[in-house]
Amino acid sequence: MTRMDTVVHPPSGSVRGTTTGDVSRFLGVPYAASPAVTGWLEPPGPVEPWAGVRDALEYGATVPKNPYPWPSSELLEDAVHTGDNCLNLNVWTPDVTGSAPVFVWIHGGAFRNGTGSAQWYDGTAFARDGVVCVTINYRLGVYGFVDVDDTPANVGLRDQLAALRWVRDNIAAFGGNPDRVTVGGESAGAMSVAALLSSPLAEGLFAGAILQSGAGHHALTRECAQNIGTELARRLDVPASRAAVAGVPEADLLAAQADLLRDVQGDVARWGEAARNLMAFEPVIGDDVLPALPIESIRAGAGGDVRVLIGTNADEMRFFMVPSGAVDLVTTPALSAAVDAYGFADVPAVLDVLDAYPEGSPGDRLAAVVGDWFFWIPAIRLAEAREQAAPTYVYEFAWPSTARDGRLGACHALEIPFVFDTLDVEDGMRITGTGAPQSIAKDMHAAWVSFVTDGDPGWSAYQAEERTVRVFDTEPSTVVDPRPQRRAVWDGVR
């Protein structure tokens, strides 16, 4: 297919992309100044202007980060492109002269990994189907979420806000309609979307929100975040200040981050919600970006005018427990102890929880319990919190991967190549295995396109009296209140 250059002239500066068939793409476009100029731990500054036409032909630099930790590294690749100008985004568009709806994607990776340039986030299929697709980079780990003094926190969320403001001001030059923006994300990206949905600084920047395997329950109190920041500074042997931490060489800072992450996980008594969340660096409650825990603000009406599509995968935690072998090591006593110690203090009794999960080995049951607590129940709580808001639609992805002898089930992240219709890329095949049904990708991608375009994915909105859920599987279905016993055991929790 013939490929030709295409030049557009947004206010931020002219850029040259490429057009193949009916889709034009522009890669590595800066949406903010290089952190090397404004400060690696400082809020993003305005994009630096350039003269002439800037090439947007290749993916831009990625943010500083460690490789994916094991066992996530067994299933995911994490692209790395060197350079300092890492606050950049990518655009796929069906027509640079049009006014199409816009889908802005925030990648996942536990707030410490990932990039908008991953293969399976290629936006070609969205552009093919009439949607402008934008994927972004934002600062991660220490660089995005360390909190050590009274200076602004949540730099990673501020990057996301800067990207959305860039979209508002520039996307028309790429053929997008700034009044029809939907923001979406998966895992930490979905948690970011919940944070933005709740943030007063994001008002008016998007009309729709898609949350895949992440909701509004996971953020750190300022006390917890500063406890972690102080410990990081102690290990680096520098004062607990943003300036001092920023002065540490990148390799040393990332090494200390990795060591601290390992120590935080599992020590709930010392590290509180950071240990329960398994994330030491994540959004922090208590500033102008995130005044309260997102679910609390959403319950109070924040983001009430935004349409929402939210859901989870049927076997989320098997992504983490199968490659590591942990699923086979859990004993019945260890299962009870884990449920008791993992932070379910407000559950009336451990056995009340376990009785609702009778099937499978102890490891299978633990994966189901923790997956529901961490992913499914927060998604349900967010949908319930929006009873008086704009429509909220709920889905579940249920097709089991064929990778790892089929033991992954419908695990975390598995739905991504179906949403983007990128089943044929290596990133997707590592987790889907062979034989992933194109029919599911067709249905799921079409539902996302419909939601971004019209605000309706094609099934009834979620209401407490009906609890309508669309299930994506080999045979798709629309069901009411799947697994009611498992849902009910968490009543009154979180």
Tell me the catalytic residues. Answer: 187, 316, 412
Return all residues near 446 (Cβ < 8 A) that are at least 6 apart: 129, 458
Structure token pair of residue 166: 């860039």
Structure token pair of residue 343: 């932070």
Return all residues near 457 (Cβ < 8 A) that are at least 6 apart: 309, 393, 395, 447, 448, 450, 451, 470
Q: φ and ψ at 376, to 5 degrees?
A: -70, -50
What is the Cβ-side half-sphere exposure of residue 200, based on CA atoms within 13 angstroms? 7
HEC per residue, 223-253: HHHHHHHHHHHHHHCCCCCHHHHHCCCHHHH
- The span from the CA of 196 to the CA of 290, in Å, is 8
What's the length of the chain? 494
Which residue in 453, 154, 140, 186 sits closest to 312, CA to CA? 186
Which residue in 275, 364, 325 sits closest to 74, CA to CA? 325
- Cβ neighbours around 386 below 10 Å, total: 23
Angle at the Cα of 380 from the Cα atoms of 375 and 383, rounded to 5 degrees: 130
Return all residues near 475 (Cβ < 8 A) that are at least 6 apart: none
